[in-house]
Structure 1
Amino acid sequence: MRAWFRGSAPKASAGSSPAASQTDLRAREIASMEDAMASTALIMNDDIDGAEEKLRKGDSAFHHLGLSICMFMRSILGFEKAYMVEASNRLYECETIAWNQMKKAQKEAGSSNGAEDKIYPPGSEYALVIADAQLMSAIIAVLHESLTEGLKGFYKLRKAFITLDGIMQSETAYLKRKGLHSDFSKENIESSSSSISGGHGSSNDTDDTDLEFVDADEGHSGTQTPLKYEGHLSKSTDTPEKRMSKLSINSNSASKPGGTNRPVSPPTRGGFKSGPDSEIFSNTVDSFTHSGVNMCYGSLLLLLSMVPPTFSRLLSIIGFTGDRERGINMLWQSSKFDNINGAVAGLMLLSYYNGLLSFADILPSEKDIRNGAVIGYPKARCSALIAQMRTRYPESGLWRFEEARVLSISRDLPGSLRLLKSNTKSKMRQVTALNNFEMALNTMFVHDYPEMRDNFIRCIELNDWSPSLYYYIAGCAELEIYRNAFHSEKKDETRIQLHKKKTNELLRKAPTVAGRKRFLAKPLPFEEFVSRKMQKWEDRSKELGIDLVDAIGVSPTEEVIYLWNGTKKMQASELEMSKKALAWDRLTAPKEAQTKIRSEIDEQAVRDVCRASVARSLGNFDEARELLDTVLAMDKLAFKGPTKDDYPLPGAHYEMAALAWNEVLNPELRKDVNEEDEEGWLREKVNECQSWLEKVAKWEAFVLDARIGMRVQTGLDTIRWYKREHK
């Protein structure tokens, strides 16, 4: 029957051969890949509409991936639900198409007689597309409002992890056959496949009897066959968590007495270069695969490493353990390539360094960073990466936005604001929204209350991530303007009442729009924080018989500054302004009511933790410790209740850890320490810092545990690194 149906097909010409047809197929694939990558790269130049228009003209898996990335970027930059739903649909379609094209590529390769030694198995580029789609799907699912979708997301993460791991093992095997080695390969690394699948088999297992996490069919056409063998690739008796913790792409990352970690560029060996100018990755498909695997795998490892302690313990049960250093190394490797993978890797790095890492205080010293400490903040390297990306994508406001964030981390808030104000006209609304939010934060840090208010109100117009938070912080700005008018030497009653009315309107609006956004079926932590705050002030207002605006105690603006770690970005003059804003005499309630407000334990604790953070940033460490000792002596039960502020006590523990770390980094603080005792003293301080952090990591759930937890997780990573490198 097969021969009968083939009868009408045109016969191959006498000169044709399987090798020739395979060459033509490869040429078409490379052309499609190059076209799709060039079109997708327009996203990084703020031309997402142009990218979509060009990508719709192609029908390859690479074009579908590009279209999916367009929608993913729209959804992730703006956190908008409508875009998330469409992105999920596109990603599923992309995954299906890539699956079919992967099977076709494997079949075509199997029918050819060529014995060419290739880096990756046939169809690996399509397997990468599948993993890429799964990774983006997982991120969207976790950000979705449904717990069920979130669980599906973790399942997708696992599948992507295994695929990426398999591709990297193929690369490592190829380099070994050629007598080459790259620090970014997986030489000497145990397979993570068994870790991800639970790893409960005994060390003598030689068959595929592990039935945990069996991948169910997801509607792909054709028979599902793994890209390569995914059984028990190692016979280790270690636990899954221990095996996962040993994963490293840097063969030199084992502990070495007095050694330093130098991850920036892998050493050449046997003439091998790991960058885009390498002969190994000169082929377009190989270059795409190598840069893509490093980007995807690195992003996954980095994201998992930043999960707050309470959630990371849950993930470790099923074998998900991040590796911050390894993930960062892989992203830097990918960023060397001038393609969409390199651009996304660069964006991930800058988002990590200028965003999440800007919240952290416990980081390696400048000297350690110069010596190659990956987990620190490499300012010079970030600036060089931004310059490189601005050269590649000169029309994009995204890289100017990142440049402004570098300035703010350098405590140049005025310079950062100037750059942000000149960067408000991006063709992508999502980039404009990011730029405006950063501008709103910076105006808060410099205490420009009118600009702070206007910028946060503009955030409501630009995106719908959390209108409740935007209204709340705008109301906090208006409150400071009201307090300034109230305490002015020249009283203007009309102005006082005007700002009091505006404060009331903005703050009361906040809880009415709360709850629209959810994370894994739960309210956003900051929206829950806002709702509790408003209820606290409402209850106090009724109890004391005063207006809601006058029932507010400690400056809520300074509280938000603390929660965003704005003190880390302030100069001394700005910190002094924070100090004044935290004074009790800023309250506007009658004297008797003020006395009652000031007597509340959690109110005192909020104020003292904020003041301690300011004192630490000013270098007044003894003052900071004295304030924190007061908070630590408070009764834990005083923070229990539906409207109580429950974060100051764990926040005080974190601040104590930061103070201990300051003493480790600053020799001038080592009072009365002899040179002979210095090593023991340093060890004691590092252990003290770790002890405070571990207490916070084990703390019971509180409203803002994820925000403080990110700082704690980074601190613990730093301590682990320090103990390994400074033995």
Structure 2
Amino acid sequence: MRRLGGLLGSRAGISTSKSLTALDEPAALQDAMASAAHIMNDDVELAEAELSKGSSPFHKLGLSTALFLRAVLGFEKEVMEKAHACLTDAEEVASEHQRRAVRDPSKAHQSKIYSAGAEYALCHAESQLMSAVVAVLNESLTESLKGFYKLRKAFATLHDISEQERRYLGRTGRGVGSSQTSVVTPGSGRETPVMSSGVLTPADSGEEEEDDFVDAKESGSAPGTPPPTYRGGPAERDMEKLSLEDTVTNRSNGGTPPTNTPIESDSALAQADQEIDFRTITSDPIDLFIHSGTALCFGLLQVLLSMIPPAFARLLSLFSFRGDREAGLRMLWSASKFKHNINGAMAGLITLGFYNGAVAFCDILSPGAVPHTRLRNLLREMRELYPGSKLWLLEEARMLGADRQVEKAIAVVDQGQSSGLKQVNALRMFERSLNCMYAHRYEECAQGFIECVGMNSWSHGMYYYLAGSCYVELYRLHKGRDPKLAEGYAAKAEEYLHTVPLHVGKKGFMGKQLPFDTFVGRKIKKWDYRAEKWGCKMVDAVGVSPVEEMAYFWSGFRRRNVEQLRTSLERLAWSEDVKANPHWERESADEKATLAMLRATCFRFLGEIPKAKATITEGVFSHDLAEVKACDHPDTWALPVAHYELAVCYWDEAGGQGGDRAMLQKCSDSLLKVERWESYELEARVGLKITTGRETLRKCGISSP
């Protein structure tokens, strides 16, 4: 068996470091967790300073978590590089401590549940998981591939730990008699999972030359025999109440992978509530750390995998992974019960972020898919425990946005002093600027995005584009009543829009240009081409309101109240006003389709479903794809997305889940058309909505052909 970490480079200095004894561990863990708590209060500098004083795997993990949070909040290259180096160090230290614990278990922490060194194996897996996320965010495809390999390795370790929990619960008779998550296949004597988490065990996980984690010895194992890797074989019948979903597919008896049956978010929450409180199983702080960390990592892993854009599905298949969002959320809810330690706190933050930033803005949802009351309670608890963090203000603002109270959301983001974490301040400014865009506060929106340029280095091209688009809107508003002021806005619009090409293409994701960079770069080329062709200023060659277009991709229409939606209709009407816009008669088919799509969306959110459907049919589907593609620098996204909008109209018309079956089938048919559509710009922005819609329909018993 090759030693773990052989592919991670030199371990100079680590092999001579002092290994923690069983007596040292609890104190080291407590110190590291107390220091890491500062992370959740936005005092990352203090956390880093205190964690740097310790050399234990727990301190290394905490320090890595601080840098990881900086990296994923800001997407800044230099921070990601620093986080990567720190995470690599944490991996190496954890694996060295784990090897020592296995070699001499008598000096290691003694657990009734886990084998010697399990706590270090978890630290290693957590470091690998965070390192994988950083690698995937890297601009290099090679680094991204390495990241997916680390995900695979982290999964194998986490799976081994969770299996030890299962075996322990089985031996102690906890949950005996449960049959919800596993059943015995007749005649085989083996259990087959019936509610899989959806994360598949890598096909050759039991044949790796490197073992990330040495499993606990079973009483019947022969000395020197390598521990078996779980393959869906015999397991205790206690799985219903375990805090981890069944994570493997039973391949041992020739069975096929189980259908990935999603469960509703409120159902996932209910299951998390019904699980055994692990604190009644053990009071050992090391064991509780292992349990909460495993739930956090498995939950995060599954949610991340479920959100990978369809374009990367083929890549993921190489690593035998697929995600189950609902199972992942259930595990995150379970982990959030331990919010007093960094594992639970991170789980709470991730849970709030996923619901408030993604699920809440989906359109085809089952009743209770977003557990509003529990989310508010979780947010309140997190604010009480970590009052210094401004991240909770962001989450509260997102909740208000989902409730169509954009003005209140802006006020909440403005509360309090600046965060000690500059990445959080950048997020606050970005969120505020988006909300100003939804509220039609264009000057504030533009100024906010320009400020973002100085606060964050991720996508300056997008920031300049959004600012320039706001000035286009201001130019249009004042052109007829204050020409001098309008010219000032026109100059700013062209200045910022022509700055966009200088910044696009400098950032990447998995070796490719960022989708928004591709989109805004093409738009500038289109408008410059039209200006030259039409003999006008660039600002007069801009087509359908780019602000309204951006609002759609950021789910802004769902955040707007009735008055704001009617204002959007007024802004869209500008395009067809031949007095204000003399170029309408020569406007291209793609712009006309985009106008109709955005207008239909406004009608839908105003509750005018028949009007929305008619607008889509007459204004969008009257143009075929070939006609749209023939336009200069065409916008092709409106056609496929219109099928999604029509599906939502059918869903609303049916009355949602439990409504008219024929109408729900029409919803499914429309959704199928966009699912089968060729690749188009910014498809990932609606991809989660489409996936959620399909899952919801499946729960209703409406399947696609």
C-alpha displacement of 1:414: 1.3
Matched-pair contact (CA < 8 Å) for 2:293–2:343? yes
Q: Aligned partner of 2:267: which letter? A: N
CA-to-partner distance for each residue in 1:134-185, whole Å, 9 max, x for gaps? 1111111111101111111110111111111111111111111111139999
Could you tell me how far apart the structure 1 residues matched to 2:41 and 2:73 are? 15
Residue 201 (structure 2) pairs with residue 196 (structure 1)? yes
Matched-pair contact (CA < 8 Å) for 1:195–1:240? no
Q: Aligned partner of 1:157: which letter? A: L
C-alpha displacement of 1:664: 3.5
Matched-pair contact (CA < 8 Å) for 2:480–2:580? no
Residue 277 (structure 2) pairs with residue 288 (structure 1)? no
Matched-pair contact (CA < 8 Å) for 1:471–1:507? yes
Distance change (3 Å), C-alpha of 1:442 and 1:425:
same
Matched-pair contact (CA < 8 Å) for 1:504–1:549? yes
CA-to-partner distance for each residue in 1:360-417, whole Å, 9 max, x for gaps? 111112xxx1xxxxxx211111111110000100111111221111111111111111
CA-to-partner distance for each residue in 1:427-461, whole Å, 9 max, x for gaps? 11111111111100100001011111111111111
Could you tell me how far apart the structure 2 residues matched to 1:309 and 1:70 are? 30
C-alpha displacement of 1:58: 0.7
Residue 63 (structure 2) pairs with residue 85 (structure 1)? no
Distance change (3 Å), C-alpha of 1:227 and 1:609:
farther
C-alpha displacement of 1:232: 4.1
TM-score by length of 1: 0.83
Q: Aligned partner of 2:46: which letter? A: G
Could you tell me how far apart the structure 1 residues matched to 2:179 and 2:408 are? 37
C-alpha displacement of 1:240: 10
- 1:635 corresponds, among 624, 638, 648, to 624
C-alpha displacement of 1:194: 10
C-alpha displacement of 1:37: 1.0
Per the alignment, residue 612 of structure 2 pairs with 624
- Higher mean alpha-carbon deviation, 713-722 vs 494-503, is at 713-722
Distance change (3 Å), C-alpha of 1:524 and 1:184:
farther
User: Aligned runs of 1:107-146 on 2, under 5 Å?
Assistant: 107-109=103-105, 118-146=112-140
Per the alignment, residue 436 of structure 1 pairs with 429
- 2:591 corresponds, among 603, 617, 625, to 603
Tell me the SS of whatever aligns to 1:336.
Answer: helix
Could you tell me how far apart the structure 1 residues matched to 2:445 and 2:462 are? 13
CA-to-partner distance for each residue in 1:679-716, whole Å, 9 max, x for gaps? 7x733333322222232222211121111212111212
- 2:477 corresponds, among 478, 481, 484, to 484
Tell me the SS of whatever aligns to 2:257.
Answer: helix
Per the alignment, residue 307 of structure 2 pairs with 306
Matched-pair contact (CA < 8 Å) for 2:478–2:485? yes
Tell me the SS of whatever aligns to 1:627.
Answer: helix
Q: Aligned partner of 1:570: which letter? A: R
Per the alignment, residue 696 of structure 2 pairs with 718
Distance change (3 Å), C-alpha of 1:591 and 1:161:
closer
Matched-pair contact (CA < 8 Å) for 2:197–2:327? no
Matched-pair contact (CA < 8 Å) for 1:295–1:331? yes
C-alpha displacement of 1:512: 1.2
Tell me the SS of whatever aligns to 2:623.
Answer: coil
CA-to-partner distance for each residue in 1:60-92, whole Å, 9 max, x for gaps? 001001111111111110000101111111111
C-alpha displacement of 1:625: 0.4
Distance change (3 Å), C-alpha of 1:588 and 1:505:
farther
CA-to-partner distance for each residue in 1:644-682, whole Å, 9 max, x for gaps? 112111110110111122123359xxxxxxxxxxx7x73
Matched-pair contact (CA < 8 Å) for 1:660–1:685? yes
Residue 687 (structure 2) pairs with residue 699 (structure 1)? no
Could you tell me how far apart the structure 2 residues matched to 1:358 and 1:646 are? 27
Tell me the SS of whatever aligns to 1:703.
Answer: coil
User: Aligned runs of 1:235-384 on 2, under 5 Å?
Assistant: 236-237=250-251, 243=257, 245=259, 261=267, 263-266=269-272, 274-275=276-277, 278-312=279-313, 314-316=315-317, 318-337=319-338, 338-365=340-367, 369=368, 376-384=369-377
Per the alignment, residue 468 of structure 1 pairs with 461
CA-to-partner distance for each residue in 1:40-71, whole Å, 9 max, x for gaps? 11100011000011101111001001111111
Could you tell me how far apart the structure 2 residues matched to 1:185 and 1:666 are? 28
Could you tell me how far apart the structure 2 residues matched to 1:542 and 1:625 are? 36
Distance change (3 Å), C-alpha of 1:92 and 1:317:
closer
Identity of aligned residues (%): 38
Per the alignment, residue 13 of structure 1 pairs with none
CA RMSD of aligned residues (A): 3.1
Per the alignment, residue 19 of structure 1 pairs with none
Distance change (3 Å), C-alpha of 1:86 and 1:325:
same
Residue 421 (structure 2) pairs with residue 421 (structure 1)? no
Which of these two proteins has the greater Rg computed from alpha carbons?
1
Could you tell me how far apart the structure 2 residues matched to 1:117 and 1:61 are? 18
Matched-pair contact (CA < 8 Å) for 1:331–1:346? yes
Distance change (3 Å), C-alpha of 1:176 and 1:85:
same
Tell me the SS of whatever aligns to 2:518.
Answer: helix
Per the alignment, residue 497 of structure 1 pairs with 487
Per the alignment, residue 522 of structure 1 pairs with 512
Could you tell me how far apart the structure 2 residues matched to 1:246 and 1:87 are? 34
- Higher mean alpha-carbon deviation, 302-311 vs 82-91, is at 302-311
Could you tell me how far apart the structure 2 residues matched to 1:625 and 1:239 are? 50
Residue 65 (structure 2) pairs with residue 63 (structure 1)? no
Per the alignment, residue 221 of structure 2 pairs with none
Distance change (3 Å), C-alpha of 1:324 and 1:585:
closer
Per the alignment, residue 670 of structure 1 pairs with none
Residue 97 (structure 2) pairs with residue 101 (structure 1)? yes
Could you tell me how far apart the structure 1 residues matched to 2:59 and 2:170 are? 33
Matched-pair contact (CA < 8 Å) for 2:156–2:212? no
Per the alignment, residue 18 of structure 1 pairs with none
C-alpha displacement of 1:198: 2.8
Could you tell me how far apart the structure 2 residues matched to 1:420 and 1:267 are? 31
Q: Aligned partner of 2:127: which letter? A: A
C-alpha displacement of 1:632: 2.2
C-alpha displacement of 1:215: 4.8
C-alpha displacement of 1:336: 0.6
Could you tell me how far apart the structure 2 residues matched to 1:42 and 1:117 are? 29
Matched-pair contact (CA < 8 Å) for 2:122–2:294? yes
Aligned length: 646
Could you tell me how far apart the structure 2 residues matched to 1:241 and 1:439 are? 51
C-alpha displacement of 1:719: 2.1
Per the alignment, residue 142 of structure 2 pairs with 148
C-alpha displacement of 1:236: 3.9
Matched-pair contact (CA < 8 Å) for 2:637–2:681? yes
Tell me the SS of whatever aligns to 1:704.
Answer: coil
Distance change (3 Å), C-alpha of 1:239 and 1:627:
farther
CA-to-partner distance for each residue in 1:435-494, whole Å, 9 max, x for gaps? 111100100001011111111111111101111000001011111111111132xxx332
Q: Aligned partner of 1:169: which letter? A: E
Q: Mind listing any 5+ residue stretches in structure 1 that lack a counterpart?
A: 1-21, 200-207, 219-224, 370-375, 668-678
Could you tell me how far apart the structure 1 residues matched to 2:470 and 2:107 are? 69
Distance change (3 Å), C-alpha of 1:73 and 1:261:
closer
Tell me the SS of whatever aligns to 1:32.
Answer: helix
Distance change (3 Å), C-alpha of 1:160 and 1:216:
closer
Could you tell me how far apart the structure 2 residues matched to 1:549 and 1:300 are? 45
Per the alignment, residue 450 of structure 1 pairs with 443
Tell me the SS of whatever aligns to 2:167.
Answer: helix
C-alpha displacement of 1:196: 3.1
Could you tell me how far apart the structure 2 residues matched to 1:548 and 1:377 are? 44
Could you tell me how far apart the structure 2 residues matched to 1:593 and 1:415 are? 38
Per the alignment, residue 44 of structure 1 pairs with 40
Q: Mind listing any 5+ residue stretches in structure 2 that lack a counterpart?
A: 1-18, 184-191, 214-223, 234-248
Per the alignment, residue 709 of structure 1 pairs with 687
CA-to-partner distance for each residue in 1:253-295, whole Å, 9 max, x for gaps? 7x9xxx9936435576xxxx7336x221311011101110010
